[in-house]
Amino acid sequence: MKLIIIMLMLFLIISCTQRAPTTTPEQACANQGGTWRTFGDSCADFCTNASRAQCAQVLTDSCDCNEECWNGTECI
């Protein structure tokens, strides 16, 4: 009987434990005031010193941070 009570209590404790919510890149972008969109090259709005000539011509989903740039997790 004690084992059942202990197992029940353990189950309740584990099931009530709150996990930290995970934030997707899209949510992080919106939280920073940016807009998640598709860019026409691999540089997108990433913080990089690469010139547009060095960017691959491939569609890339990323955050458009307006006057700032996207470092992968936030607009800086």
Q: Which domain holds residue 40?
A: 36-76
- Residue at 2 is within a domain: no
- Residue at 19 is within a domain: no
Task: Give the pLDDT score at 49.
Answer: 77
Of residues 39 and 18, more confidence is placed in: 39
- Residue at 4 is within a domain: no
- Residue at 26 is within a domain: no
pLDDT at 76 over 80: yes
- Residue at 63 is within a domain: yes
- Report the C-alpha dihedral over residues 32, 35, 40, 43, rounded to 10 degrees: 0
Q: Give the tens place of pLDDT for each residue, 28-45.
A: 999 999 999 999 999 999
Number of domain units in the chain? 1
SS3 percent helix, strand, coil of the chain, rounded to 5, is: 35, 15, 50
- Residue at 25 is within a domain: no
Bridge partners for 15 per DSSP: none
Comparing C-alpha atoms, which of 53, 6, 55, 44 is closest to residue 36?
44
